Amino acid sequence: DPIQPPDLSKCHTATVTKDTTVACCPPLVRIIDFKFPSPREPMRTRRAAHLVDEDYIKKYEKAISLMKALPDDDPRSFKNQANVHCAYCNGAYDQVGITPTLDLQIHFSWLFFPFHRYYLYFHERILGSLIDDPTFALPFWNWDSPDGMQIPPIFANTDSELFVALRNQKHIPGGAYPLLNMHWSDPIDDKALAPEDQWDINRRVMHTQMVSGAKKRTLFFGMPLKAGETPLKAGDAAANTGQGSIERSPHMNIHIWTGDPKQAHTEDMGNFYSAGRDPIFYCHHANVDRMWDLWKTLGPRRTDFTDPDWLEAAFVFYDEDKNLVRCKVKDCLDSRKLNYDYQKVPLPWLDTKR
Ligand code: C2O
């Protein structure tokens, strides 16, 4: 059977590590069913974060500051947005209708792409509604290109609403090792590589994860997780056996690479419970989401699962009107039906040759 959305009234303490817990249950509000956005709405075009202009940056900063200013009991608040991730990912929810209890976990399986797609979709719409701009779109961290191999400058300006202090200081622009390393064996094993050598490594990782090593659905999306099955979780030795290629690397690497190793749990980006507190999270995940759209253009067998246990799996998210919306995987397969799209930029990893 498909995974059911959590029952927010039964949300409990989340686990950060074996002996650290945290309270991050988001508020329980009215539940409605997902409806597609009206086709009369303008298309939202997500642009590469290193290519956006001043006007856009101002809008985005304004939206984030308004979101941060919302009170804690408002489900749209920045704090609650981050808590959504904590609750789903650090064991604050149990799978509905299953005894004995089992955690709900949306990483390390085929739920990874659809969960994060909806999460960003609503985050983006809330931001747009706060600044009354129906064209507002999140930026994407174009880490699959040589120019995007570092923290995008818009997140590095210390005066900006997009800045957080809890990042690896060696990895910020101007730091000792500002270039992103995607190699899965050593995400934070810093080496002072020349940009072209680092890009050579990253390009190969991208090619493997998108092309040569992602020829089957399970390789790209990750392994099935159905209701009543015990999910893998962070820290499990076997966790990466459930992950799809992109989820494993570069997605995980970038989380750990960005977070502050001086914090107990590599906050913010290096732990699920705190990752959503860094605005860069949503930009990182926009590029993860872009990879799903791209993957489906790379060959005839690269299509979504048809298993009803995936298509009917469901989550709940807050919308711009403070409702809790019940969303099924089958309704998010086509991002254009969700009224957003990605700026076209080169795919320099597509070819095996340089
Ligand atoms: Cu839900 Cu990048 O993690």
The ipTM estimated for the assembled molecules is 0.99
Rounded Cα distance, 148 and 171, in Å: 13
The Cα 291–Cα 213 span in angstroms is 14
Q: How far apart are CA 128 and CA 122, in angstroms?
A: 10
Q: Is 89 in the pocket of ligand 1 (CB under 6 A)?
A: yes
Q: List the single range of 160-174, 227-241, 285-299 with lowest mean pLDDT.
A: 227-241
* pTM exceeding 0.90: yes
- CA 259/CA 72 separation, integer angstroms: 25
Alpha-carbon span 128 to 135, nearest angstrom: 7
Query: How many Å lie between the centroid of ligand 1 and the Cα of residue 272?
Result: 6
Considering only CA atoms, which of 145, 253, 256 is closest in space to residue 198?
A: 145
Residues 6+ apart with CB under 8 A from 13: 21, 22, 23, 92
Which pLDDT score is estimated for 179? 94
Per-residue pLDDT at 154 exceeds 80: yes
Distance CA 119, CA 317 (A): 7
pLDDT digits (tens, 9 = 90+) for 276-286: 999 999 999 99
Antiparallel, parallel or unpaired: β 340-342 and 31-33: unpaired
Q: Write down the catalytic residue from 251, 281, 315, 317.
A: 251
Locate 173 and state its tokens: 């622009």
| Digit-coded pLDDT (tens) for 168-207 | 999 999 999 999 998 866 656 677 889 999 999 999 999 9
pLDDT of residue 283: 98
Domains in the chain, CATH or no CATH each: 8-342 (1.10.1280.10)
- Judge whether 171 is annotated as a binding position: no
Mean pLDDT of 297-316: 96
Q: Which atom of ligand 1 is nearest to the CA of 252?
A: 2
Ligand 1 atom nearest to 284, measured from its CA: 2
Mean pLDDT of all residues in 95-110: 94
pLDDT, tens digit (0-9, with 9 covering 90-100), for 20-73: 999 999 999 999 999 999 989 999 999 999 999 999 999 999 999 999 999 999
Specify the pLDDT at position 190: 76
The pLDDT of residue 236: 85
Which residues, in sequence order, are CB contacts of 280 under 8 Å at separation 6+? Answer: 141, 151, 152, 155, 162, 164, 258, 269
- Residue 161: what pLDDT? 97
The number of helices, as runs of H, and strands, as runs of E, in the chain is: 10, 7
pLDDT value for 293: 98
- Interhelix angle 54-69/112-130, rounded to 10 degrees, is 90
On average, the pLDDT of the chain sits at: 95
User: Is beta strand 340-342 parallel, antiparallel or unpaired with respect to 44-46?
Assistant: parallel
